[in-house]
Each structure stands twice: as C-alpha cells, then as structure tokens.
Amino acid sequence: MRNSEDRLVPDHGPWTARIQPSDGRLYLDSDDFHHDALLTVTGDFGTPAVKEAYGHFLADVLNRGCKRARARQELGDGDKLLSTLVKAAHGPDAELLEQAADEIARLRCALEEADEALKALNAHRYFTRRTEEAKAPSAFAQALAQALKR
C-alpha cells in the first residue's frame, strides 16, 4: 500500500493464524497496532488440520511480504542516489528503476533468510555434537568398565 506521498506503508506484523474455538473460523491477525488488521479466511478446507495449515501458510506469506516491504522502504530511505533516480525518472525508466529496487530488496530479504537458516543450522550442529559428546562414556566410566571386566 502506498500513501499520498507514494511511499510504502507496510504492515509490520508479525502475522499469526488462529482458529477461533467458539466458531471454528480461521483468522489472520497482525501484531502491528498501527493498522490493527484482522482477516477472516473462509473456504472449503476438508479438515480442521488443513484449515490450520493453510492459515499458517498465509501468515508466512504475509510475514515475508512485510519483511520485503520494509527492506524496500529502507532501501529508498537509505540510498539517496536510488531514491533520487526513482523520483526523477518517468515512464519506462521509472518502472525499470522500481523493479530494480524491488529486486534489490528481495535479494536482501533472501540473504537475511539464508543467514538465519545458517545460524539455525550451526546451532543444530553444535547441539547435536554436544549431545553426542554427552552420550559418550567418560574416561572414568570407561576405566571403571575395564576394571569391572577383570
């Protein structure tokens, strides 16, 4: 969404999906109190589990969109040259610059996601290694086992 000054006005989220216990309806709501948004999702889902999974999928899509919109806005705010070029350009050139800025924002988000995944992977590897080390018998336990065998 854009305001009168043609600046992005993103919802900051995060978006969450929830099933209302009283009526079984699927809602998506944003934690951004500026917009105070609540979406109702209706459809033929088959089972409550499918409905809930669909809600979590939509929340994930909205959260990714919020990140991308923020990255795009930060790019426009922080990069004076790009901001000046986009404002000065007209017609196809303006569209091309907007597309380039959107692609830069998309790439920044993809890099952030890759960085987060790498951190999670490293943490997983660390804890897996520590768990394996903890499962391995200590030198004392090995010496005791050897002594008991004799």
- Residue 76 pLDDT greater than 70, yes or no: no
pLDDT tens-digit readout, 117-150:
888 888 888 888 878 877 777 777 778 888 888 7
Per 3-state DSSP, what percentage of the chain is helix, strand, and coil (rounded to 5)?
65, 10, 25
Segment among 1-15, 32-46, 64-78, 130-144 with least mean pLDDT: 1-15
Cα separations (Å) of 74 from 122, 134, 146?
Answer: 29, 45, 64
What is the value of pTM for the model shown? 0.55
